[in-house]
Copies of this chain bind each other. A is one copy, B any other.
């Protein structure tokens, strides 16, 4: 998220109780997880293996759990528990405010947009023109919806990221990473009944222009879906995954987090995608591979009994030869 106005790093240090080193004059302009940082942002790191990536990222202010050398021009905020410090900042800058009404007072709704009964619309939501929002839909705070968008009944847009930090040493093992991102749904999108699109942890989850999602589809936090994609029913997309333009995913396809599917790819029903796929091809199976190759693989599996018979034949021949040889 970006702040409405810059925040002095000295104030941040005080607020989270951290020791400040490096550039004391910095003004923080946003708060982002490492995958989304921009210059001016505060980010955090609490695993030694990610120190380098974070220190060399665009983040200007880094909350860290160890005193290290501060990169030129940046600021470090050293504290025992950077995760909790980050969550404290999220809660301060994007607090959860209980709703007083079904539709918050500061919502912007465009012309010719129909809001059917019983739709919840949270604080700061913006909806464009010529949209239909069907009954029992939930739009969490700060969701942004373009023009000509249809959202079917029961869909949930903008629920929290499924993102926790494991605390090995405690009875309650997981701390929740509070999300401060949004969902942005571009023009001409249609979202099916009962589908769920989670907000980004710090950035936006985006459904690109003209894309169509069928029913009971799940889109994880911070995923970026391109333009003119088609996702059939019960597809699931993991967090921060990128689906480029014109991708078709058939029913029940599952796509893991943090990967990319290239433009124009087609993934056949029930396939599982554990790692990135190139564009322009048809994929199938688990792990999803070129569909032609995968079909041959299925055909080969059916030939194992034939292979077995051949081997039995060869073994018999060999046995007879050995016997023959012995007799000679």
Contacts and interface: CB of A to CB of B under 8 A. Distances in A.
Query: What interface size band does chain A fall in?
Result: 35 or more
Contact of A314 (B153, B160, B188, B318): B318
Contact of A307 (B99, B176, B236, B307): B307
A252 B254 contact: yes
A252 B236 contact: yes
B116 A99 contact: yes
A134 interface: yes
A155 B269 CA distance: 24
A174 B228 contact: yes
Interface string A146-170: 0000101111100110101000000
Nearest to A319: B317
Contacts of A98: 114, 116
A172 B210 contact: yes
Contacts of A120: 116-118, 135-136, 153
Given A101-B117, A120-B153, A234-B234, 18 more contacts: A118-B118, A120-B135, A136-B138, A136-B156, A154-B154, A154-B155, A156-B193, A162-B192, A172-B209, A194-B194, A216-B218, A218-B234, A238-B251, A252-B252, A297-B302, A300-B301, A300-B304, A307-B307
Interface of A: 96, 98-99, 101-102, 114, 116-118, 120, 132, 134-138, 140, 150, 152-156, 159-160, 162, 164, 171-174, 176, 187-188, 190, 192-196, 198, 209-210, 212, 214-216, 218, 220, 227-228, 230, 232-234, 236, 238, 246, 251-252, 254, 256, 269-270, 272, 274, 286, 297, 300-305, 307-308, 310-311, 314-315, 317-318, 321-322
